[in-house]
Structure 1
Amino acid sequence: MKVNAEKNNGLCRLQIEGEMTISAATELKKSLLDNLANCSELEIDLSQVSEMDTTGFQLLFLVKREASLLNKVFRIISHSPKTLSVLKLYNMKDFFES
């Protein structure tokens, strides 16, 4: 798992590559929350995610909730087939688009 970050005027754009699974959870959680803390808007590109399990889904849910509590903008700007499949499985696609 690799997280590429770009920061510009309060906007953080992250592109996650590889697996969003339990094996990468600790590192990914730290990266997501650290980036959220240092920006006013967080965009995440999931188009290069090759695998996502329940833990990966829970991390996205956590970051969206934290962004809301901090009055920050959170959005997913692109999905891979694997991430879209997980969001549809949990009937949460619309939740992450709002």
Structure 2
Amino acid sequence: MAINVEDQNGRRRIRLDDVVDIAQAAELKQILMEAIGSFAPVSIQVSGASAIDVTAVQLLWAALSHASTTGKEFAIVGPWDEEIERSLSCTGISPIMHSMLAQSGEEESNALAARR
């Protein structure tokens, strides 16, 4: 499965694995909506994804934007796979996504704290 959800230590963790594309878009949207509506801090782990298409990127961007306007603790934690980085660069949204992505050396809790 490309999308895994777990609640642990009062946090909701969503892990994207393998290929996340339009085939999983409806599932990802539902999971993100539920996560933002929950009271737990939310983190999206993208380091296990080998490919993320533009549909999934748009959903992540929308979720992060909504979370930031509502004060929700929400972080996208990387790093991106090199193939994903190349795809993002081709679309011109790489700088935008990098501004959303917690650096690979950051601890998840620090990433969440920085986005409060």
TM-score of the superposition, structure 1-length normalised? 0.79
Distance 1:4 1:71 in 2: 24
The amino acid of 1:11's aligned partner reads: R
Distance 2:24 2:54 in 1: 12
Distance 1:96 1:10 in 2: 22
Change in 2 beyond 3 A, CA 1:42/1:85: farther
User: Structure 2: 5+ residue runs without aligned partners?
Assistant: 102-114
TM-score of the superposition, structure 2-length normalised? 0.69
Percent of aligned positions with the same letter in both sequences?
27
Counterpart position of 1:35: 35
Runs of 4+ deviating beyond 3 Å: 82-89
Counterpart position of 1:54: 54
Distance 1:32 1:10 in 2: 17
Q: What is the aligned length? A: 98
Distance 1:16 1:72 in 2: 20
Give the secondary structure class of the aligned counterpart of 1:80: coil
8 A contact 1:57–1:86 mirrored in 2 = no
Structure number with the higher strand fraction is 1
